[in-house]
Amino acid sequence: MFVGIGYLLLLGCVLGGFVAAGGHLEALMQPLEVLMIAGAAIGAFVVANGGAPMKATIKALPTVFKGTPYNKAFYMELFTLLFEILSKVRKEGLMSVEADVENPEASPVFSKYPAVLHDHHVVEFICDYLRLMVGGNLNAFEIENLMDVEIETHHHEGEVPISAVKGLADGLPAFGIVAAVMGVVHTMESVGAPPSELGMLIAHALVGTFLGILLAYGFVAPLATILEHKLGDGTRVFQTIKVTLLASLNGYAPQVAVEFGRKVLTSTDRPSFKELEDHVKQAKK
């Protein structure tokens, strides 16, 4: 929603200001300039990101038009799930959650938390490390190191689309200049034309520079920023799970362990101590 609103505001101010200054919108309608800029940019994008990076970017771009799923309600559900699992472990032992870990979709515990169960990356992360804890062959320090490696790998994967979109944004102004230079070359070929015709040709050439800069900084670069925010949100979920599970592994009670995890969250998503405590108590009933 905010992407569409931002784009409308951007176009409204730029084009509205142009018209208010006496400009004519039809002068900006240069399909050949758009073809040169967009075609060159897409071609360079394919060269730089062909294969897995391009697939990752195409998959990531639609998410910029959706809100983050990792909001306060999601974290309340996540903490309650972790609390229930860790309480079961504390009362019945690690082996008691083996069935839940092996098949979370059929687990009566996981099935109570559809928002978490729907996110297979989060479920896989939880189950993988519970499985390691059940195995009993790794200590807390070793599991923490392994978690850090996985989180870092996840973060690097998420940076691939961001880098690709940033590269596209960085190249657009240059391709706008290329289109403008082509327009100038065409103008110089018509140097014997009347001044009014030359003026139109120069105006058409300058549209290329305008479009390149506008597309780069007004449309494409903000998408990279949105992807960065989403990557940070996704990484924070894993950090929250990591801190909670490690606290439990180090001997803290489930209520204290989820409090450790709560501290990882930013102020916009973090429930208060009382909110989380009441929510967990309600889920136990």
Buried b (16+ CB within 10 A) or exposed e, 108-132: ebbeebebbbebeebbebbbebbeb
Examine residue 247 and state whether it is found in any structural domain, yes or no: yes
pLDDT of the residue at 235: 94
Structural domains of the chain, count: 1
The pLDDT tens digits for 82-99 are 999 999 888 888 888 888
Examine residue 69 and state whether it is found in any structural domain, yes or no: yes
Give the best-scoring range by mean pLDDT among 115-119, 187-191, 193-197: 115-119
Examine residue 1 and state whether it is found in any structural domain, yes or no: yes
Q: Which residue has the higher pLDDT, 186 or 175?
A: 175
Q: Rounded to whole angstroms, how far apart are CA atoms 106 and 104? A: 5
pLDDT of the residue at 279: 82
To which residue do tokens 């800069």 refer? 213
The pLDDT tens digits for 197-237 are 777 778 888 888 999 999 999 999 999 999 999 999 999 99
From the list 196, 203, 216, the residue with the least C-alpha distance to 26 is: 203
Residue 60 predicted with pLDDT over 70: yes
pLDDT of the residue at 141: 87
The pLDDT tens digits for 261-273 are 999 999 888 998 8
Q: Rounded to whole angstroms, how far apart are CA atoms 6 and 81? A: 37
pLDDT of the residue at 191: 73
pLDDT of the residue at 184: 82
pLDDT of the residue at 28: 84
Examine residue 24 and state whether it is found in any structural domain, yes or no: no
Examine residue 14 and state whether it is found in any structural domain, yes or no: no
Give Cβ neighbours of residue 100 (< 8 Å, ≥ 6 apart): 85, 107, 108, 109, 110, 130
Residue 36 predicted with pLDDT over 80: yes
Q: Rounded to whole angstroms, how far apart are CA atoms 115 and 142? A: 30
Boundaries of domain holding 251: 1-7+32-284
The pLDDT-based confidence of 281 (bands split at 50, 70, 90) is: confident
Alpha carbon of residue 246 to chain centroid: 26
Examine residue 79 and state whether it is found in any structural domain, yes or no: yes
Residue 63 predicted with pLDDT over 70: yes
pLDDT of the residue at 136: 66
User: What percentage of the chain exceeds 70 in pLDDT?
Assistant: 99
Q: Rounded to whole angstroms, how far apart are CA atoms 62 and 123? A: 23
Residue 284 predicted with pLDDT over 70: no
pLDDT of the residue at 285: 59
Average pLDDT on 233-255 reads 93
Examine residue 257 and state whether it is found in any structural domain, yes or no: yes
Query: Do residues 108 and 121 make contact, with C-beta atoms less than 8 angstroms apart?
Result: no
pLDDT of the residue at 137: 73
Residue 122 predicted with pLDDT over 90: yes
Q: Rounded to whole angstroms, how far apart are CA atoms 78 and 261? A: 10
Contacts 24+ apart (CB under 8 A), 103-112: 109/81, 109/84, 109/85, 110/81, 112/81, 112/84, 112/283
Whole-structure pTM over 0.75, yes or no? yes
End-to-end Cα, the chain, rounded Å: 38
Q: Rounded to whole angstroms, how far apart are CA atoms 219 and 38? A: 13
Examine residue 22 and state whether it is found in any structural domain, yes or no: no
Average pLDDT on 26-50 reads 90
